[in-house]
A and B are shown apart, each in its own frame.
Chain A
Amino acid sequence: MLEKIKNNFNTQTWVLIPIAIAINIAIGQLVLVLKLPVFLDSIGTVLVAVLCGPWAGALTGALSNTIWGIAIDPSAFPWWPVAAMIGYMAGRMAQWGFFKSWWKVVVTGFVVAITAAIVSTPIAVYLFGGITASGSSFITAYLLQTGQGIWSAVVSTSFLTEPVDKITTAMLAFAIVQGLPRRTIGGYPKPEQVEVEGGEGEGGANNTQMYIAIGVVVLLVLFAAFMLRNILGG
């Protein structure tokens, strides 16, 4: 066990972690500038997770939220277990070979989103009584008013909002990893996890697959919007 944790960390991991945390925060703020309806605040965490392993990913997530809480927005602080779990799960999925082609990356994003939704629910319920300071709490509040129980209201909100965000995150992280030179990737503990499968040339990372993956995300956005309209309208 301890050996398995240790092999996530070499010097390059330790150097990557601060940069990944800074990437999380910088991109999170950049998305705010663009006014997009996603957070994208865990791209760095997913990068560390797939290149170095689940434990390194979990550490990056936890520290990322801690530092975000200390330096920028204090309300980010209590969510560190969610960020840690995102890193851990992304690392595990990569270990199982789910970070090698666009459609597998979509699956990874989806699994990570479900995990994040499950972990964030008890924090939202126990610490904040279900209503947090984030914008998506308007949905939770509405569901509560319609007579749903607190747990189901919080869970359904996360299930509506998380997948789009996490799948986009995973896809961007995949694109970044594909853009890195082979030599750089080789210095991290788990370079084989991100090796693209398939024979000819780019193989699994070809454009057709990318467009299909983007299509899936668009469909999910539409589905979430549709569900929202149903919930809020009915």
Chain B
Amino acid sequence: MHERLSFYIKRNSVIHHLNPLTKLTLVLALILIAFTSPWYWTPHLLVLIAIIPLSFLGKVAPEFFKTALRLILPAAGFLFLMQAFFQPVGETVIFKFYFLDMTQESLMFAFRNATRVIVMVSAFTFLLLTTHPSELMSDLTRRGLPGQFAYVIISTLQILPQMQAKAQTIISAQRSRGLDTESSFIRRMGSLTPLIGPLVFGSLAEVEERAIAIEARGFTSKKVKTSLHEIPDPSSDKLIRWVLIILVIISIALKLWLS
């Protein structure tokens, strides 16, 4: 059927059997600690002693490193370079290039910020690799998240690849009819309308039909809905969540206390 935009990989591991909310808490805790901890090396340590071992534990390490190389490192590396060169802090100049100079302080600052971004993104990647989006959403819905939110997230992930494919088709079609997408600025600006038009009107035409279809399935009904899949939530999961929350509180408290 439809291709779904999802990183999820079905494996049989301890992490895969955790409750989705526990994994979400874990990810948010990692990010919050990386951003609030007063100690300079915390984000770096988190990557080494938490995120990478966790990806091995979840048996998704090869995919994790592939995503890291393709997505995370280029973004973090670019941020690192921009900040290392452009931050106007510090005195000890290490490297000079025209009006830009890299100082020891800006280098340290950039290194930490880039690692924080790595923690943020790789933690999310880890969550997406080990958790199916519908599983996460149905667990959150069961805990009281309005069903409409779950619908928006899941159906966006479904529509997006279709829309991207449609955009590619429209570009190719208009190019084959001689639409200029490569020459001067004015021409390219002008070719925006024949590209956006078909894409947007085509998708907006579906809205009413979809609305009627989901309304027929009781979308706005206030009754409690039953679920086909029961997602287990053992007490060990609750314990893990509490430990994580306490760790975050400690990190924030230390930050406030020390600064």
- By a beta-carbon cutoff of 8 Å, the part of chain A in contact with chain B is 9, 11-12, 14-19, 21-23, 25-27, 29-31, 33-36, 43, 63, 67, 69-71, 73-75, 77, 128-133, 137, 140-142, 144-145, 172, 175-176, 179-180, 184, 187
- CB pair B75–A63 under 8 Å, yes or no, is no
Closest to A19 in B: B203
A98 to B153, CA, bound (A): 30
The residue of chain A having its C-beta at the shortest distance from the C-beta of B133 within the complex is A70
- Chain B residues near A12: list those with CB within 8 A: 207-208, 211
Q: Does B92 contact A (CB under 8 A)?
A: no
Interface contact A187-B208, CB-CB below 8 Å: yes
Output the nearest chain B residue to A135 by Cβ-Cβ distance.
B82
Contact A63 B156 (CB under 8 A): yes
- Main secondary structure on chain B at its contact with chain A? helix
When chains A and B are docked, how far (Å) is the Cα of A129 from the Cα of B78? 15
Cα distance, A11 to B87, chains bound together (Å): 48
* Residue pair B86, A19 in contact (C-beta under 8 Å): no
With both beta carbons as reference points, the residue of chain A lying nearest to B85 in the complex is identified as A141
Which of B71, B82, B181 lies at the interface centre, i.e. has the most chain A CB atoms within 10 A of its CB?
B82
B160 within 8 A of A: yes
Q: Which residues of the partner chain A approach B85 to less than 8 Å between Cβ atoms?
A: 141
Report the separation of the CA atoms of residues A34 and B191 in the bound assembly, to the nearest whole angstrom.
Answer: 9
Q: Are B215 and A11 neighbours in the complex by a CB distance under 8 Å?
A: yes
Measured CB to CB, the nearest residue on chain B to A68 is B160
Asked if B156 and A22 make an inter-chain contact with CB atoms under 8 angstroms apart, the answer reads: yes
Distance in Å from the Cβ of B70 to the closest Cβ of chain A? Answer: 11
Task: Give complex CA distance A72, B250 in Å.
Answer: 33
**Chain B residues, CB < 8 A from A176:** 196, 200-201, 204
Give the residue of B75, B78, B158, B181 whose beta carbon is less than 8 angstroms from that of A34. Answer: B181
Q: 9 closest A-B pairs (Cβ-Cβ)? A: A141-B86, A74-B121, A22-B163, A18-B156, A18-B155, A26-B163, A131-B86, A22-B159, A12-B211
Q: How distant is B202 from chain A, measured CB to nearest CB, in Å?
A: 10
Q: B64 near A: Cβ within 8 Å? A: no
CB B107 to nearest CB in A, in angstroms, measures 13
Distance in angstroms from B147 CB to nearest chain A CB is 10
Contact A11-B211, Cβ < 8 Å, known A18-B152, A26-B163, A184-B204: yes
The A-contacting residues of B in range 78-111, CB under 8 angstroms, are: 78-79, 82-83, 85-88, 99-100, 109
B203 and A34 contacting across the interface, CB-CB below 8 Å: no
List residues of chain B with CB within 8 A of the CB of A21.
152, 156, 160
Out of A9, A71, A128, A133, name the residue touching B160 (CB < 8 Å): A71
Task: Determine which of A34, A63, A74 lies in contact with B72 in the assembled complex, contact meaning CB atoms within 8 Å.
Answer: A74
A144 CA to B157 CA, complexed, in Å: 40
Complex Cα–Cα for A15 and B212 (A):
10
1/0 contact string of B215-237 vs chain A (CB within 8 Å): 10001100000000000000000
B82/A131 in contact, CB under 8 A:
yes
**18 contacting pairs across A/B (C-beta < 8 A):** A11-B220, A14-B211, A15-B214, A17-B152, A18-B156, A19-B203, A25-B160, A26-B167, A29-B167, A33-B171, A34-B192, A36-B185, A74-B72, A128-B83, A132-B82, A145-B99, A172-B196, A179-B197
Nearest CB on B from A180, distance (A) = 6
Chain A CB count within 10 A is highest, among B83, B152, B157, for B152
Contacts of A67 in B (CB 8 A): 153, 156-157, 160
Whether A145 contacts B88 by the Cβ 8 Å rule is yes
Q: Say yes or no: A77 contacts B207, CB within 8 Å.
A: no
Q: Mark B107-143, 1 if CB is under 8 A from A, else 0.
A: 0010001000100110010001000000000000000
| B188 touching A35, Cβ below 8 Å | yes
A131–B128 Cα distance when bound, in Å, is 29
